[in-house]
Structures are given as structure tokens and as C-alpha cells.
Amino acid sequence: MAKLLEVRNLTTRFRTERGAVMAVDDVSFDVDAGETLAIVGESGSGKSVTALSLMRLIPNPPGEITAGSVMFEGQDLLKLSDAEMQAVRGDRIAMIFQEPMTSLNPSLTVGLQVGEPVQLHRGASWKAALEKAGELLARVRIPDAKARVDAYPHQFSGGMRQRAMIAMALACQPKLIIADEPTTALDVTVQSQILSLLKELTRETGAALILITHDLGVVARYADRVSVMYAGRVVETGTAREIYKMPQHPYTRGLMACVPRLDGVLGDRLVPIEGSPPDLTRLPPGCAFAPRCSVAEPGCLKARPVLEDVGGGHRKACFVSVESGVPAHA
Amino acid sequence: MLDANVAGSPLLVVENLKVHFPVMSGTVFQKQVASVKAVDGVSFTLNRGETLGLVGESGCGKSTTGLAVLRMLDITGGRVVFDGQDITRHDRAAMRPIRKRMQMVYQDPFGSLNPRMKVVDLIAEPMIVHDILPNRSARSDRARELLALVGLRPDMADRYIHEFSGGQRQRIGVARALAMSPELLICDEPVSALDVSIQAQIVNLFQDLQQSLGLTYVFVAHDLAVVRHISDRIAVMYLGRIVEIADRETLYKRPQHPYTQALLAAVPIPDPEIEATRPQIAVTGEVPSALRPPPGCRFHTRCPRATDVCKTEEPVLRDLGGGQMVSCHHV
Ligand SMILES: Nc1ncnc2c1ncn2[C@@H]1O[C@H](COP(=O)(O)OP(=O)(O)OP(=O)(O)O)[C@@H](O)[C@H]1O
Ligand SMILES: Nc1ncnc2c1ncn2[C@@H]1O[C@H](COP(=O)(O)OP(=O)(O)OP(=O)(O)O)[C@@H](O)[C@H]1O
Ligand code: SF4
Ligand SMILES: [Mg+2]
Ligand SMILES: [Mg+2]
């Protein structure tokens, strides 16, 4: 079966006073119809820039997609005209941002905003679009939805605004939803309500989901597959079960070891990853993780590892193999 | 290590603490129209060398509790007793000698630190304010010593704050808090802004400092796994009240309050196989406004176990034995 989305060698950089920021560096991944792919990584690892690049929303200048392709339903999105891309956005691909207050217009009613994609992409009348908005708000379980079509965003709580964003994303039954840290600003109990709702709705509509998060717990609960990013690159990718059971990349292993767990053994000391992420304008020639890596070999500083299959679609970009501790490039 | 005879006496006793903020309205004549009961009857004791975790969702009163203990806010009711002294009504002058002994560590160390000051001056500033080391070079030496204590290089003292990463800034924030050799640190979300790989470094630092300096912590955080890791006892707050307090083992193994249970169930565990079989959450909706907390049990609007009595009668904290206290009609 053809992939819904095939991202190949995507490279996005920003020109700044300090030099070129390699925000996304040769990133490749696939998304199948109906599946949830989590992109996980720390702050500045390039998750949002990846998402914005797919949607062609990178501000230029200072940003530029310098290489790669984004095949979506057989079409390279990077080759579309602006008007053609406009027709894809909010229709076949929808995006949910982290902070709904900045992505909802405070001076327009929620109903107008949730209904807009229907009016824009389906040529519906505003009356029909507003009616649809009421249905969509009910679908994301906003109490009293029909009456709330005329409310303004500030009259909604944080959780309700995020529900409204989900309703807007669902408006045209997209094939792919990209949710960039959709619940980071919300309380834990609300967070799990919203993520469960999003997951349930994608299951119902058959939409695929790219879920961007820095929370390994969220990944474990909601994702089918995972791509782990570090310093603009994908360092490991595979099914969630595989990656949690047998993380192969030293960075992924480090991440798993350094987060305390609700069910962890009490009294154990956390094992931090020493040092901090690299400056993206001054990336080392070898593996970007090498300066922090506890199993790095001299070769890791010289050449850059690429993603290689370690079995069953599980891939990692690292020279050193976990079991033996022997570098793969030796 | 700690002295046996001081180790037993509580360093901090908080009794029925209330902090209400007036809500004013009117254009010409401001009039109080309501009050936010940010903290509304909170009690706990904290022994020397112990860590009390304070958890709960946004707006439940965690920061306000911390600020009130430090007397950085006016207290509406109840008592705060620090090392045997009732400081509830202390004025600035009376607080001066005590404020050295209790310090705050903030979430965003960058926001709370002056960008135009060198690190050495940032750390020395509280020593000047409290007249600790009169001599500039002695203060500078002490600052370098503190940097080493929090795992930074002493020569970093001459740099500016923007040259440091988030984790390093938090270390500097901790060094500054330690400048007065305090006994109690109120840590308000000290690792929330940090990336997970850095978070672990800072959590370990807090634990090391507690070991070597015998510090006592109130550790405020919304990450329940971090709180479980670092605390001896944990208080769960909801809308200005403690709904459950227990030692960490009990709280996480046998949570009794429906809110504690919901909160714990909402936190995903980083293991897909465990997640596949965990029961899903039972609470709906969001935390009501602190301006109009629901009558009766404040949690009744979201509680899966609520009955009529919950809507009218306020439950009180009851001791279930073993130091576990819960306020719920149905436990
Ligand atoms: N407009 C811009 N100009 C310059 N640099 C940028 C711009 N937008 C992003 N970057 C840089 O690109 C890199 C990747 O940023 P990105 O926002 O993708 O990170 P992220 O993984 O989403 O992090 P977070 O978890 O903090 O959201 C960062 O170093 C960031 O500073
Ligand atoms: N100075 C103030 N004036 C009026 N209301 C206040 C003030 N400070 C806090 N509040 C209110 O008191 C309540 C408790 O706030 P507090 O900051 O203690 O919560 P918190 O538990 O620390 O939340 P968070 O997790 O968001 O930091 C909130 O409803 C808040 O809006
Ligand atoms: S008192 Fe009632 S409403 Fe409150 S937590 Fe217990 S069962 Fe729920
Ligand atoms: Mg981002
Ligand atoms: Mg707070």
C-alpha cells in the first residue's frame, strides 16, 4: 500500500546574524494512512520546523527549505504553487498548534473560525458553515455546542479552545492532522482528555496523526510509531513498542533513563545526559550527539551516521551497536 | 549529617493557612467586590531535612502557599510557624533575620535574574542586601565557592547570564538562593522549564545539596513523576485546599481521594505495553474558577463518586492512619 506521506531528505535552515541555523537537517520519515506517528525530541531539536516545513509555513526570509521532498498522496507538496498549497492546507492536511490563543483570532467568533475551512474549501454558504461548526463543536464535546457558536475565544477555557482547534482541524475531514504539542499548556487531567479525544476522532475518521511532543509518556500512550529527533536530525525511528523495549540510539536510551516514572523504583538516582544540546549554527562534522555520548568512539566525531535498518523497520543513526558496544564503522 | 535532637522538631508548621486576594471593581472608587480564596485552609508540617511535594493543577494555590510561608504575601488567616517562631504577623523588620533562613528558587531563572549583571554579582547581591560579607573580595570568593557547589566552574562567575543554557541558569539560581546558607528552600517549579535531559541533572543537584547541607524543601511541581522522585511526603491541592497528603509510597500506591486517583491516572507512563492496559481517566471538565469555588466538596463538579452530600457539605481532612490524610465523604 502506498504511504500517505513520504518525507525525504527534508532540510530547512534559517539565516541569522550568527550564521545558518540547520534547524532540520536531512530528515526522512513516512506516515501511513490512519496511523499516529510521534515526533519526539527536546526543545530546539527541529520538531516544529519539520511540521511547518511540511505545511510550507516557514517564513522566508529568514527561513528556507533547501532540499528534500514531501510526497503527500502522490504529490510533492514542495513543488506546488502557493495557491495549490493553500488548497491543501486546512483541507486534506490540518494543523493544530500549541497555543490556541495565538492561533484563534480573538475578534472573530469561534463558530466563524471553526466553520471557515468548510466555507473556504467546500464552497459552503456561511449559514451552512456555521451549522457545521455547531456540529463539529458538539463532536469535540463542547457542552452546549450550538449555543457556543457565537462565543469569542476569550470566553472559552484553555481546554475548550484546544477542543475548538481540533474541531476546526476536523472540519474538512483531513487525511492528515499535524498536532504540535497540542496540550503542553494544559493541566494534566485536561491534557489526557484532549489527547484521548484527538486519538478517538482520528480513529473514527481514519485520519493519520503526526503528534509532536517532548513527553515520552504521551508517546507511549498514543503513538503507533516514533521518530526521535536530536539537533535537527532523526536519530531513531520505529514502532513505539520496539523503541521503548529496545532503544538503540544512545540518545534515545539516555532519554528513557533520565525521566523519572510514576512506576519507577523509589530511591534510584536519575541518570542524566551530561552536557547540553549543540549550537545549531556550529554543528560538529560527525554525530551531533557525540560530545554528550557515553559510548562514542573516535570515528563518531569524524563522520556523520545515517539512518540504518536494525531490523523490522526499526532504524537508527549511530555507528556503535548497542549489544556489543563495538562501533559499526570499524 | 543532622543532629539527632534537632532532626525531630518540625522546621515548618503551617496551620489552616488562608490567603485571600481582594477583587476590586469600579472606575473612580475602587471597591472590593469579591475575593479569590487562593489558599483556603492549608495545613502541614515539615521536618528538617525533609521534602514536601506540592502538586495540583494550575491555580490551585501552590505558589501562593510558598509565597505566604516566606511572608512575601499577607496572610488572611491561620498560622505559619518557622523553627518554633510564629511569623504570621511579622513585619519586614521582624522577618529580616528569618528571611535569610528561607529562600525561594523560581521556575524561570532567567526571568528572575538581571541580564546586565555578571554572575558573580547576581550571587553576591543577596549577601549585600543582608549584610553578610562586607568585603567585596570575600563575597566574590564565596560566589565562586557556590558556583562550584552547584556544579559550575568558578571562572564562570565573570560571565553574563545570557551566555548560559537553561540548566546552567537554574544552577545559578540555586547558587544565589544558597548564598545566605538557608535551611528551607521553597522550590517553585524549578525544573518545569527545562528539557528532560537537563531536568535530571538539576533534580540530582537538589538531592545532593539536601544530603550535604541538610536542606529542607517544599518542592512545587506539576510533574507528578518528578515530585514522587524527590519528595518524602506529598500534598495534593485542589482549589486552595489540600485534598490528600501522605508519604510518597502510600500516595502513589494507594491514593484514596478521587482527585488524586484521577491525577495519577492522567499521567502517562513511558511504556506502551503498560499504557495499553492502564485504566483510562474518569474525570471530565476543567478546574472551576477560584473566584466561585463549588459549594460542598470543591471537587464534586468533576468527581465520579460524588453524591448529594458532596454538593452541600464540605469534607474535612481525616487521618486514615500511617500519616495519610484525605478529605472526601466517600473514603
Ligand atoms: N524564525 C526563526 N529564525 C531563526 N531560527 C529559528 C526560527 N525558527 C526556528 N528556529 C530555530 O530552529 C531550531 C529548531 O526549532 P523548532 O522550533 O523546530 O524546535 P522544537 O523542536 O519545535 O522545539 P520546542 O520543543 O522548544 O518547540 C531552533 O534552534 C530554533 O531556534
Ligand atoms: N496577586 C494575586 N491577586 C489576585 N489573585 C491571585 C494573585 N496571585 C494568585 N492569584 C490567584 O490565586 C489562585 C492561586 O494561584 P497560584 O499562583 O498560587 O496557583 P498555582 O497553584 O501556583 O498555579 P500554577 O500551577 O499555574 O503556577 C489563582 O486563582 C490565581 O489566579
Ligand atoms: S467528597 Fe464527594 S465529591 Fe468530593 S471527592 Fe469525595 S466523593 Fe468526590
Ligand atoms: Mg516546537
Ligand atoms: Mg505557581
Residue pairs between chains A and B whose CB atoms are closer than 8 Å: 133
Instruction: Report the distance separating Cα A193 and Cα A157, nearest Å.
Output: 14
Chain B touched by A218 (CB under 8 Å): yes
User: Under a CB-based contact definition with an 8 Å cutoff, are residues A53 and A14 in contact?
Assistant: no
User: How many Å lie between the centroid of ligand 5 and the Cα of residue A125?
Assistant: 46
User: How many Å lie between the centroid of ligand 4 and the Cα of residue A178?
Assistant: 12
The pLDDT of residue A76: 98
Reported ipTM: the value is 0.88
pLDDT in tens, A3-25: 899 999 999 999 998 899 999 99
Instruction: Report the distance separating Cα A279 and Cα B240, nearest Å.
Output: 43
Chain A touched by B269 (CB under 8 Å): yes
Nearest to A36 by CA among A174, A182, A175, A210: A210
Chain B touched by A214 (CB under 8 Å): yes
**What does the pLDDT profile of chain B (331 residues) look like in tens digits?**
444 445 567 999 999 999 999 888 877 778 888 889 999 999 999 999 999 999 998 889 999 999 999 999 999 999 999 999 999 999 989 999 999 999 999 887 667 677 888 999 999 988 888 888 888 999 999 999 999 999 888 888 999 888 887 888 889 999 999 998 999 999 999 998 888 888 999 999 999 999 999 999 999 998 999 999 999 999 999 999 999 999 999 999 999 999 999 999 999 999 999 999 998 767 888 888 888 899 999 999 999 999 999 999 999 999 999 999 999 999 9
Map out the domains of chain A as residue ranges: 5-92+175-324, 103-171
Q: How many CB atoms lie within 10 A of CB A207?
A: 24
User: How many Å lie between the centroid of ligand 3 and the Cα of residue B245?
Assistant: 16
pLDDT in tens, A151-164: 999 888 888 898 99
**What does the pLDDT profile of chain A (330 residues) look like in tens digits?**
568 999 999 999 999 988 999 999 999 999 999 999 999 999 899 999 999 999 999 999 999 999 999 999 999 999 999 999 999 999 999 999 877 656 789 999 999 999 999 999 999 999 999 999 999 999 998 888 988 999 999 888 888 898 999 999 999 999 999 999 998 878 888 889 999 999 999 999 999 999 999 999 999 999 999 999 999 999 999 999 999 999 999 999 999 999 999 999 888 889 999 888 888 999 989 999 999 999 999 999 999 999 999 988 899 999 998 765 554 443
Nearest to A92 by CA among A171, A32, A34: A171
Instruction: Report the distance separating Cα A213 and Cα A199, nearest Å.
Output: 14
B228 contacts A266? CB cut-off 8 A? yes
Q: Is the CB of A214 under 6 A from ligand 1?
A: yes
Interface test mutation site (partner A, options B55, B58, B170, B198, max chain A beta carbons within 10 A): B198
Instruction: Report the distance separating Cα B204 and Cα A271, nearest Å.
Output: 9
Which residue of A193, A217, A277 is in closest CB contact with B284?
A193
- Chain B positions in Cβ-Cβ contact with residue A274 (cut-off 8 Å): 201
What length is written for chain B? 331
Chain A touched by B280 (CB under 8 Å): yes
Residue at grid coordinates 495519577: B264
- Name the grid cell of B175: 547558587
Domains of chain B: 4-24+35-101+182-326 (3.40.50.300), 113-181 (no CATH)
- Name the grid cell of B101: 533562613
Q: What 3-state DSSP class applies to A12? A: strand
Whole-model pTM: value is 0.92
A71: closest CA of chain B, how far (Å): 29
- Chain A positions in Cβ-Cβ contact with residue B265 (cut-off 8 Å): 192
A240 contacts B272? CB cut-off 8 A? yes
Instruction: Report the distance separating Cα A91 and Cα A75, nearest Å.
Output: 15
Instruction: Report the distance separating Cα B184 and Cα B209, nearest Å.
Output: 12
Instruction: Report the distance separating Cα B19 and Cα A328, nearest Å.
Output: 62
Domain A5-92+175-324, second-level architecture: 3-Layer(aba) Sandwich (3.40)
Nearby residues of B26 by Cβ (< 8 Å), 6 or more positions away: B33
Helices B119-129 + B166-178 axis angle, to 10: 20
Please identify, by atom number, the ligand 3 atom nearest to the C-alpha of residue B305: 7
